[in-house]
Amino acid sequence: MAFAYEPLHLLLLLAFSTHLPPISTTSTSTTPLASTPTTLTTKPQRLVSKLIHPGSVHHPHYNPNETTRDRMELHIQHSAARLAYIQARIEGSLGSNGYKSNISPSLNGRTILANLSIGQPPIPQLLIVDTGSDILWVMCTPCSNCDHHPGVLFDPSKSSTYYPLCNRLCSSKGCKCDLSDQSTYNITYADNSFSSGTFGHDMLVFDTIDEGTTQVSNVMFGCGHNMRYNSDPWYNGILGLNNGLESLASQIGQKFSYCIGNLADKNYNYNQLILGEGADLEGYFTHFEVHKDFYYINMEGISIGEKRLDIDPSMFEIKENGTGGVIIDSGCTMTYLVNDVHELLDKEVRNLLGGSFRQVQVENTPWLLCYYGTISRDLLGFPVITFHFAGEADLTMDSTSFFHQSEDNVFCMAVGPSSASGTGGEVSLLGLLAQQSYNVGYDLVNQFIYFQRIDCQLLID
Ligand SMILES: *[C@@H]1O[C@H](CO)[C@@H](O)[C@H](O)[C@H]1NC(C)=O
Ligand SMILES: *[C@@H]1O[C@H](CO)[C@@H](O)[C@H](O)[C@H]1NC(C)=O
Ligand SMILES: *[C@@H]1O[C@H](CO)[C@@H](O)[C@H](O)[C@H]1NC(C)=O
Ligand SMILES: *[C@@H]1O[C@H](CO)[C@@H](O)[C@H](O)[C@H]1NC(C)=O
């Protein structure tokens, strides 16, 4: 199977080998050293960013009037758009430009945001966490069309640690030097919105648990000076976490992990992202491969309770023409399985619930399996659903990860068929609801993804 490489990766590889100073990390803390255990002072501080989930009271577009039903509809709409985009990109119908989109910025508030600061003095940034793209970019002044963003725009001329990336090797499309020899970028998204600007370097600043800060110097990122989007942005930029050389994950230690606790609780505040050496790589792991900037893992089967469904593992494989396969994604809430697999799972769930619950049909989503009832009250005894991966790694889902409360008295299965996107539907996608109660660790050097079932609060204390 052949996947075309994206030209920018190669160009930036050259940029890295010739122009970049080494990354260094330093930390400062407001806590006196005397009160800190000595073992901690010898280690670099963890680079931790809180993750703010859609629907959280901390989200810039938190809407107290949003009903359970509104929330579900937005999740489904956003997830289907993300799935359609991923399928289009895999099948190459978005053209040869490798940057033809990841998350469409016009979609409203359904993705998880990281909070970290940039520059000296540090300016907080709310960034879409995207495992399906590479570049970190933030909106910068001066900016055309950067209205209605959260917080204050980053002004590189006011940061004492900022310097531009000048790169005479960048001369083809997607990355070129302008007259002042700055390296420019222009990322166009599926809905024709775009972010364009110049590459530069600055310091990233993370909060630490003891109310101090930890810094990473000389991080390369895109400073966006010209935007086009179709609705108000509720973010400052995008944090790409794929494995390309220009991604932040590659720049900082080649490791990262995120922990997603509870996406339904608007007050839950323990979701977090850890970058670099301090990332949590624990539990069983499975090998990943990257194609078209997405993380693919080898799924092998599904169990409900002790019962393993009769699924031919080849249904999860990537086909000769690049379709199929199973992607783990940070930009999608729902999970989608290829139609034949979804059908088997759906049938099994109907067998378990059909006798006790009354089914409901939700408008516009005939594929969504829904019943009258409340997850927390009615599904306590529902068996655990397990997705099995190569290498003994499992993702287990209790009823709160496998179902979604879609109205106060209606719950639905949070797993749909890949055809739900309205396209051919040949790829499977593991979304964030399925990843709840897990710490997911990415080791980019050895190409492993770790799954550890854990209470995210334990990683903070
Ligand atoms: C929520 O509803 C109240 C009362 O109808 C209204 O005043 C307020 O603007 C609404 N808030 C949002 C964010 O829509
Ligand atoms: C992001 O972090 C900054 C710095 O710690 C903090 O002041 C700000 O309130 C945070 N923003 C949100 C939305 O949590
Ligand atoms: C970036 O690309 C879009 C088209 O995809 C174009 O409309 C826009 O003018 C470009 N911006 C710059 C600064 O080149
Ligand atoms: C890819 O190949 C599979 C069979 O291996 C086929 O069913 C599918 O239609 C093909 N898809 C495309 C987009 O060519």
Cα(77) to centroid(ligand 3), Å: 27
Looking at the fold, whether 302 and 376 belong to one and the same domain comes out as yes
Ligand 4 within 6 A of 303 CB?
no
Residue 32 domain flag: no
Closest residue CA from atom 2 of ligand 1: 65
Q: Is the dihedral of CA 449, 451, 456, 459 positive or negative?
A: negative
Q: Is the dihedral of CA 295, 296, 298, 302 positive or negative?
A: positive
Each residue's pLDDT tens digit in the chain (461 positions)? Answer: 333 333 333 333 333 333 333 344 444 443 333 333 333 334 567 899 999 998 899 998 889 999 999 988 888 888 888 888 888 788 775 444 444 444 555 455 578 999 999 999 999 999 999 998 888 999 999 998 888 788 999 999 999 998 888 765 544 444 555 556 778 888 877 667 788 999 999 999 998 777 788 999 999 999 999 988 777 778 899 999 999 988 999 999 999 999 999 999 999 999 999 999 899 999 999 999 999 889 999 999 999 999 999 999 999 999 988 889 999 999 899 999 999 999 999 999 999 999 999 999 988 888 999 999 999 999 999 999 999 999 999 999 999 999 999 999 999 999 999 988 776 668 999 999 999 999 999 999 999 999 999 999 998 75
Looking at the fold, whether 70 and 101 belong to one and the same domain comes out as yes
Looking at the fold, whether 65 and 173 belong to one and the same domain comes out as yes
Pocket of ligand 1 (CB under 6 A): 63, 65
**Which domain, by its residues, includes 379?**
3-26+282-459
Tens-digit pLDDT profile for residues 212-228: 889 999 999 999 999 88
Cα(162) to centroid(ligand 3), Å: 25
User: Which of 61, 63, 65, 70 for mutating ligand 1's site (highest number of atoms within 8 Å of CB)?
Assistant: 65
Residue 367 domain flag: yes
Closest residue CA from atom 9 of ligand 2: 124
Cα(191) to centroid(ligand 2), Å: 30
User: Which of 421, 426, 427 for mutating ligand 4's site (highest number of atoms within 8 Å of CB)?
Assistant: 426
Looking at residue 35, what is its pLDDT?
A: 33
Distance, CA of 25 to CA of 276 (rounded, Å):
10
Residue 397 domain flag: yes
Residue 166 domain flag: yes
Q: Is the pTM of this model over 0.75?
A: yes
Looking at residue 237, what is its pLDDT?
A: 92
Looking at residue 16, what is its pLDDT?
A: 33
Pocket of ligand 2 (CB under 6 A): 52, 58, 115, 117, 124, 207
Q: What is the DSSP letter of 324?
A: B
Closest residue CA from atom 1 of ligand 3: 186
Q: Could you tell me whether strands 213-228 and 136-144 are parallel, antiparallel, or unpaired per DSSP bridges?
A: parallel
Ligand 4 within 6 A of 317 CB?
no
Query: Burial level of 276, CB count in 10 A (0-12/13-18/19+)?
Result: buried
> In ligand 3, which atom is closest to the CA atom of 192?
5
Q: What is the CATH number of the domain that holds 379?
A: 2.40.70.10
Residue 31 domain flag: no
Looking at residue 191, what is its pLDDT?
A: 67
